[in-house]
Amino acid sequence: YEVSRDILDRNVVGLKTPFGKATVKVGRLNGEVVQLAPEYEDCRRIAKRSKLPLKSVFETVLRIARERFSGD
């Protein structure tokens, strides 16, 4: 059967967080933000340095990214 797929326009942005700078990948479809993905290695580095769980850091960075791009 035939399928189709959409390819997102992607770019990488640096965000200020309470932990310092973290990189987030932003995926857009027709100009609308449809996907946000914090960079794993940045979150891992922050978690190790801050002695915080990686999941907490990842979720915090994702929340900040959602707030930042909610108006786009």
pLDDT digits over 10-39, tens only? Answer: 999 999 999 999 999 999 999 999 999 999
- Non-local CB neighbours of 37 within 8 Å, separated by 6+ positions: 24, 25, 27
Average pLDDT, the chain: 95
Please answer whether residues 39 and 24 qualify as being in contact, where contact means their C-beta atoms are separated by less than 8 angstroms.
yes
Across the chain, where does the E strand assignment appear? 9-17, 20-29, 32-38
